[in-house]
Chains A and B, each alone.
Chain A
Amino acid sequence: MIRRGNALKRTAGVVMALGLVATACSSSSDGDADANTGDSVAVEAPVDTEVVESTQSEGGTLAAVQAAGTLECGGNDTLPGFGIIDSDGAFSGFDIDFCKVIAAAVLGDSEAINVTPLVAAQRFPTLQSGEIDVLIRNTTWTASRDGAEQANFLRTTFYDGQGFMVRSDSGIASLEDAANTTICVLQGTTTLLNLNAVLGDRGIPFTPLEFESNDELQPAFVAEQCEVWTSDASQLASFAATLDIDTTVLPDIISKEPLGPVVADGDTEWAQVVNWAVMAAIQAEEFGITSANIDSFADSEDSGIRRFLGLPIEDDDGNSVVAEVGLGLPTDFATNIISQVGNYGEIFERNLAPLGLERGPNALWTEGGLMYVPPFR
């Protein structure tokens, strides 16, 4: 009898514990539902909120980012010039600055970003899962990625091409000389696909050596485990500037690599916001507005500039109106971008010019480059 009593107690205990778990479950989902309908409920688990919101697809990413007050970016942490962690632990670089551009436009604060460093292969799964709001990690826009990755590629921020780097004393002067060499390349990149396709087509045999990160690729190249390092030409330039050995970039550029921000499919509003934030930085350069001189445009007579900066425009009756473009962004989003981060040219000069990169195709269309954006009206 005593035994039986114990068993009963144990069972009752288990039942109670399970009951508690069950209540906890249901109450937490209640809370989520509330948070989603907009009630001010203290949200303990932000992940859950995001989960539920995505299941009901109300509000969208823009509302979620504004509610959270932080923009979640996927970035690089091992590529000088584009995305790297500097000596005091902060992310910096060209791609990181564009993350700041978006944060300045959406939240009015360019520092309200949280960068998640990703290796190449993690990029798309992370974007698919909704962990990051935008991916800005030197990611190449291709048809199959746009089509099959459930990713939505936006305005290109940097036009690049795939190049090859060798040691200057290697005696390799062209891609043909590189036959039978070992070629170092990063896993999960378009670089790898181009390498296989182009060298395959040209009948140049090679041994691929794939690494997950530049942290391992670089010592392998320095120790001559591979004779050739292939990547986007801009990346090669940025590494050449940091290596102790003499290197040469071969004249062969084998691909087009348009790099830009990426968002998950299915949220047009958010895609437009990101797109126009990026384009505002480019437009600012075209207008000649920089972070230094933006104050002098406050009484500009140019209605195009006034509209762009969200300054009031007076009509004939003396009423002043602020132009609203209807993107869901504050009217002064371009002002925030320029004053907090700078225009496209400034971002380029700050991050990429020190590595010896020229504007090239990334110059404004007015100067013969490809940077051309639709009008802001």
Chain B
Amino acid sequence: MLERLLRLILILAILAGIYIAVWSARRSAKGSAGGPPPWRDTKVLIIAAQVAALGVILSVGDYLWANFRARTDEIGLELNFDFLDQPSGISIADSPLDPNSSIQNALIAGVKNTFLIFIVGIPLAVLLGTLIGIARLSTNWLLTKIATVYVEFFRNIPTLLVIVFTWQALLLGFPREQDSWLIRGSSTAADSGPPSLEGLFIFNNKRFAFPSIGGGENFGAFQVVFLVAVVAAVAMWVWRTRNFDATGTPHRRVLWSFATLLVISVIGYFVLGGPFSISRPMIEQRIASGGVKMQMPYVAVMFGLVLYTASHIAEIVRGSIMSVPKGQVEAGNALALSGFQRYRFVVLPQAFRVAFPPLINQFLNYTKNTSLAIAVGFAETTGVIQNLFGQSRPAPQLLLILMLIYLAFSLILSAIGNLINRRLQIVGR
């Protein structure tokens, strides 16, 4: 070990020597003989300090790597990725993953579950956080206090605790499957085994089920019609906006666009003879079918993270609203804007610009916190990797893969964030 270190220091010393030699040669070529000698010249010393710092970092890295390799050699661990093609033996709830398919596929299924926590949770967290942030600034005493208690409570306890607490609450608060809470539904007792359940919404401690749209005949054609309706609605929006800019007549673009969307869709629905229906969830002999189903562990981790992240987002929202100069609000008042209009057109657009970078930070935290799902039995990326640890798979490579997956998530997210942030900035004049 010492030998390696000495070798490295020697190499660095040679590099430093070469540098000083080149430096002196260049100075004498310039013909300026004056100035301090190299060991007293600030320019040289600064570079030398950096070389020394680099040397220390490299030797520490080299030491750690050598140590790692010595252990892997000793126990005969091979550092390759061939194991990724081996069967995983893993199955995941509500996932078509076959236990006999490869570890790669299991990892992909895990990443998909991580993404599911992310994509549903982030909008909810932003919505809840914004509402609470605004509530904290409200003039209503009770509302302000409730929001303050919420923020201080969730912001100051560990994320894992929030998730486990949410999970326990859902586990104990919701009934067993056979006693599910049904909304607009019914339950039929079976001859043997659990009863059959059916309803618009089903809640129990295994899963939450919601109605969804089930395609029937002509569903493909209806999708085309719906797409046309969306395009028409957007066109309507643009036309109303331009009309408003040109003539000043109230645009009412939200109303017009939705009316367009609705009218075309409804006409399409009847012309095509009812191309879709509402798919109601049902549970028969423990088999759940129809509708959209969410496993309880998923709800627990997603909801726990939303509650936690919303408390941070609320503070960001509050801070950014308070950062808008008071004069702006007063100017809005002077123009006789209503409270809503003042927020919508004056305060929030300016606050959003301030809030955006820290918001992206919260999204990144949220993404990383999804790994806590293993505590409550939701199999996302970390859960899959943990399973592989416990089987017969090499830990160093798996950890590397795990880190790269989260790194990829975070880097993509911050790249998108930076892109949007650049658009949001005030263009300097």
B contact face: mostly helix, strand, loop, or mixed: helix
Cross-chain contact B74 with A121 (CB below 8 angstroms): no
Cβ proximity bits A216-260 to B, threshold 8 Å, 1 near / 0 not: 110110011101000000000000000000000000000000000
Cross-chain contact A192 with B89 (CB below 8 angstroms): yes
Q: How many residues of A sit at the interface, in one of the four size bands?
A: 35 or more
Distance in Å: Cβ of A65 to nearest Cβ of chain B: 16
Asked if B421 is at the interface (CB within 8 A of a chain A CB), the reply is no
Q: Which residues of B contact A184 (CB under 8 A)?
A: 377
Distance in Å: Cβ of B13 to nearest Cβ of chain A: 12
Asked if A272 is at the interface (CB within 8 A of a chain B CB), the reply is no
Distance in Å: Cβ of B69 to nearest Cβ of chain A: 9
Cross-chain contact A33 with B1 (CB below 8 angstroms): yes
Cβ proximity bits A146-163 to B, threshold 8 Å, 1 near / 0 not: 011110000000000000
Cross-chain contact A125 with B395 (CB below 8 angstroms): yes
Cross-chain contact A55 with B70 (CB below 8 angstroms): yes
Cross-chain contact B377 with A220 (CB below 8 angstroms): yes
A contact face: mostly helix, strand, loop, or mixed: helix
Asked if A212 is at the interface (CB within 8 A of a chain B CB), the reply is yes
Asked if B2 is at the interface (CB within 8 A of a chain A CB), the reply is yes
A256-271 residues with Cβ-Cβ distance < 8 A to B are 264-266
Cross-chain contact B205 with A122 (CB below 8 angstroms): no
Q: Which residues of B contact A319 (CB under 8 A)?
A: none
Q: How many A-B residue pairs have CB under 8 A?
A: 174
Q: Which residues of B contact A216 (CB under 8 A)?
A: 164, 167, 375-377
Asked if A321 is at the interface (CB within 8 A of a chain B CB), the reply is no
Asked if B156 is at the interface (CB within 8 A of a chain A CB), the reply is no
> What is the bound-complex CA distance between A21 and B388, given in angstroms?
39
Asked if A78 is at the interface (CB within 8 A of a chain B CB), the reply is no
Q: How many residues of B sit at the interface, in one of the four size bands?
A: 35 or more
Cross-chain contact A266 with B74 (CB below 8 angstroms): yes
Q: Which residues of A contact B145 (CB under 8 A)?
A: none
> What is the bound-complex CA distance between A181 and B178, given in angstroms?
12
Distance in Å: Cβ of B202 to nearest Cβ of chain A: 15
Cross-chain contact A145 with B392 (CB below 8 angstroms): yes
Asked if A19 is at the interface (CB within 8 A of a chain B CB), the reply is yes
Chain B residues engaging chain A, CB cutoff 8 angstroms: 1-2, 5, 9, 42, 45-46, 48-49, 52-53, 55-56, 59-60, 63, 66-67, 70-71, 74-77, 83, 89-94, 99-100, 164, 167-168, 171-172, 176-177, 192-193, 205-206, 285-287, 296-297, 374-377, 379, 383, 386-395
9 A-B pairs whose Cβ atoms sit less than 8 Å apart in the complex: A7-B46, A54-B74, A55-B66, A171-B193, A182-B206, A196-B89, A216-B375, A216-B377, A225-B171
